[in-house]
Structure 1
């Protein structure tokens, strides 16, 4: 099989890189990582060597190039069906795609004011207009998925899926900014934090230099 290479940004900051990393790790397939440090004078030029969009992440599979986090995850689900990156049940799968797409396109207040920063602890910060509403909506999503589809595992649809990969960076934000959560959301947060792949990513992030900006 052709080599898989995932191009990612700085692990402390790049939430969009973390998402396909978790999905790819879940497949169990060997892959190579190329890390591009963000916010450096040569960052744009280095990313351009790997991604036509000028952004990370990007996945190279042999001669094929896929960019955008969701597109990468969809490709992995199709290419490695044994990993079951989407729920097997049709209804659950439709809802999983809906909540994933909502994460992909929404929650702008949370993104802008509670940026991913695994190094930091910022209790009480980031509470700008719209953030509380985003947090409430995310918890409502988590509660609904766990109640309707969460049997068989600790994640949104029981076993790990792409939906969990997409909400994992939000979990890290809730830790960084010490966001108070309801009981169901706390349990889900703790389950995500125990993912071995997330622990590996977080350990690598701790060894990176602290930068002035975050993504």
Structure 2
């Protein structure tokens, strides 16, 4: 269990106030953060509306020591944000189609990140469905490209964004899942990585609820 305590204030009757996770949350071990993000609320301000999803799946990427990590090849214009302070968004485009949301973690110059792979809708579900052109249920946001489309997250808008500000895009404390409710396993879509990294159990997934 993580030593980092997540706290969340009780909801009030007024408008929701941003309560972003502090930078200290992101300045820790990559795999601890990937685990601790499960149950947290991913929040996006989109067209004047607050869209919120509970994080249910993540993957940790461990910088220089991980051949599946973009930054393992060195500092480039694309990966520059990963070498900076923790608590920033690293958003990249895959296949020229799908935006992928990562959160930079760990100390500066140790370029690690956590990929957000899936969410469950909590607020603004109708808008998410519209963004996904009618997709709903499990298909709404059960993949990294699906959730960014549902929430309106794009590289153009959010790459290098400070997620600790509580503006535009941020993460708030939420539900803490017991270890018995969490599954770990190999990450997805990293066939190019060395076997020890390709097979490492650095993917964290909340068991599907009945």
Normalising to structure 2: TM-score of the pair? 0.25
> More helix by proportion, 1 or 2?
1
> More strand by proportion, 1 or 2?
2
Normalising to structure 1: TM-score of the pair? 0.25
